[in-house]
Amino acid sequence: MESSSIMQDETYKDGYSSQIALESHLPLLNMDIPGLDLEIKYDKDTTMVFANVKPSEYFQGIDGRVVHEGFLAILLDEMILLLLEVLKLDERCNPLRLQYRFLKPVLIRSEIYIRAWLTKETDDIIDLQGEVENEMGKIVARIKAKYVQREL
């Protein structure tokens, strides 16, 4: 299996800090985590997939107030993969690079909007981007993805 490069190249600068509160995670270890029931939409005019969700406490970070950055990365990655599937490119490409930026924390139970779009396609490389936007219209996380096309 090919590994991809994941980089977090910006940290929180607005006085936000994670405080270790492991006790808040312990009750979740034996619980069934409900699905997100994401309703994904595709706009073929803009070649964009998009969805919205309100992450619950099941997806909390270490301090219990904000969404875990890994969960945001999963959402962005899934949107990229869904877009590749819609464009019928999923069976003939592999990830070359996934670059994440986490710009601001996302509060638990706040609505977020996720979208991904194709930026460039050549014979052998596909470039895509995605972002997560909070309720106030601010971009809180981004992904730049590069996939290599292979012959079938």
pLDDT digits (tens, 9 = 90+) for 29-49: 444 445 666 788 999 888 899
| pLDDT at res. 21 | 35
pLDDT tens digit at each of 152 positions of the chain: 333 333 333 333 433 333 333 334 444 444 444 566 678 899 988 889 999 999 888 888 878 889 999 999 999 999 999 999 999 988 889 999 999 999 999 999 999 999 999 999 998 999 999 999 999 999 999 999 999 988 76
Judged on CB neighbours under 10 Å (0-12, 13-18, 19+), 105 is buried
The verdict on pTM exceeding 0.85 is: no
pLDDT digits (tens, 9 = 90+) for 98-121: 999 999 999 999 999 999 999 999
Sign of torsion, CA 27 31 36 37? Answer: negative
DSSP states of 31-61: SPPPP-----EEETTTTEEEEEE---GGGB-
